[in-house]
Structure 1
Amino acid sequence: MEKQKGPPVPTGVALRDVRRQLFEAADRILLRDGPSGLTSRAVTAEAGCAKGVLHKHFEDFDAFLADFVLDRVERLAPEAAALESRKGTGTVAGNVTTALAAVFGSVAVAIVALITFRDELRARLRDTLPAGVPVLTEAAEMLAAYLAAERDLGRLPAGAEVEVLAAMLIGTGHLLYADRTGQPPAEETVHRMVSSVLHSSSA
């Protein structure tokens, strides 16, 4: 007797689900083992997928990694919206401290290490993100937009160079969070750094 086939799974839905599984597996491997542990075999094993699944959906492993990085860049959008919604409330230093914890408390630091680790990945990302370091560049743009809004509200000096301040905050924040194997910096440490950088705008 011929076996009855179930209803077809929409291709788009299936692909989104596979991408999510593989990307989340890559997150876990990066955070646990670092860039050197991130291989196609490790990703499929972590995701509980057959070995050929990744190459069925992506041209090669670097194509997978490029999509993975771009997906994580897009995940900054909710953080940007949350930060924008806090303008004019609380303190500027407190809001920035919360934003930095959200950015660097995620997989962002490990992704920067991954981009540095793989030459081919950097080359592929240049087609879509021609300038700066993915994730860090977008995070700096997010902070600059927020600081500009606070400057317009008079909560930062009128002459504050928000792009410079944002770059300083992201660069110094990255240094504070860079050791993925250790404990993240205390909130007070990050807040003190943020306050110092913001204070420089009024010097």
Structure 2
Amino acid sequence: MPTGVALREVRRQLFDAAERVLLRDGANALTSRAVTTEAGCAKGVLHRHFPDFDAFLADLVRDRIDRMDTQAAALREAAGTGTVTGNLTSALTALFESLAVAVVGLITARDGLRARLRETIPAGIPVLTEGAQMIADYLTEERDLGRIAADRDPAMLAFTLIGTAHLLYAGKDGDRPEKDAVEEIVTTIVGDAVR
């Protein structure tokens, strides 16, 4: 690999390359060599910007979590519009068709990465925990608007939705579930709570 090639936005290019490798080849294929090869740069570039590969991966996961803020804001703004089931189906589909399932596999596979993430994310499974919070915040808004029964706990509904959707997506070997399958789990879980 050439070492004299200037890279703009090195972190972004390395993160995007890692995401492509992770989605295409899985967690076991994600190495510093695979990332730098995918990014078209020398292996030393990654190590100039990150102390080690687990530090790089931890920053990748945190970056992807930060990107969820836009999705969370859009979902909260959707409260009171459309249908609760439709909004949740769209949100879960967007979350799990992104990097979520692959990131959970990556975190599970790498002890060093889990240790790094625990420094800033002390509980839960990163990405899934933030996804559950996003859904709970939305359901709280809908409950406040009277579209979800007042006696229903948004956090419990959110945990159930995230867990069930994760199992649905993780159970597919590269194939994404149909939107109808996601909508069916949403309807089953929140259907009797919707007003």
TM-score of the two chains, using structure 1 as the length reference: 0.90
Is the contact made by 1:161 and 1:201 (CA closer than 8 Å) also made in structure 2? no
Distance in 1 separating the partners of 2:39 and 2:98: 19
Is the aligned partner of 1:105 residue 2:107?
no
Gaps of 5+ in 2: 1-5
Gaps of 5+ in 1: 1-8
Aligned residue type for 1:101: T
Q: Which runs of 4+ in 1 moved over 6 A?
A: none
Among 181, 184, 195, the residue aligned to 2:173: 181
Aligned residue type for 2:186: V
Is the aligned partner of 1:150 residue 2:133?
no
Within a 5 Å distance, the mapping from 1:53-92 to structure 2 comes to: 53-92=45-84
Deviation at 1:199, TM superposition (A): 2.6
Q: CA 1:106–1:180 in 2, change beyond 3 Å: closer, same or farther? A: farther
Q: Secondary structure at the match of 2:81?
A: coil
Distance in 2 separating the partners of 1:53 and 1:159: 54
Which has the higher Rg, Structure 1 or Structure 2? 1
Q: Secondary structure at the match of 1:52?
A: helix
Deviation at 1:182, TM superposition (A): 2.7
TM-score of the two chains, using structure 2 as the length reference: 0.93
Deviation at 1:183, TM superposition (A): 1.7
Is the aligned partner of 1:170 residue 2:173?
no
Is the aligned partner of 1:197 residue 2:189?
yes
Is the contact made by 1:40 and 1:54 (CA closer than 8 Å) also made in structure 2? yes
Identity %: 60
Among 4, 9, 13, the residue aligned to 1:21: 13
Deviation at 1:51, TM superposition (A): 1.4
Distance in 2 separating the partners of 1:188 and 1:180: 15
Distance in 1 separating the partners of 2:187 and 2:75: 17
Partner of 2:32: 40
- 1:42-72 CA distance string (max 9 Å, x none): 0000000111000000000000000000000
Count of aligned positions: 189
Distance in 1 separating the partners of 2:113 and 2:99: 17
- Aligned-residue Cα RMSD (Å) equals 1.5
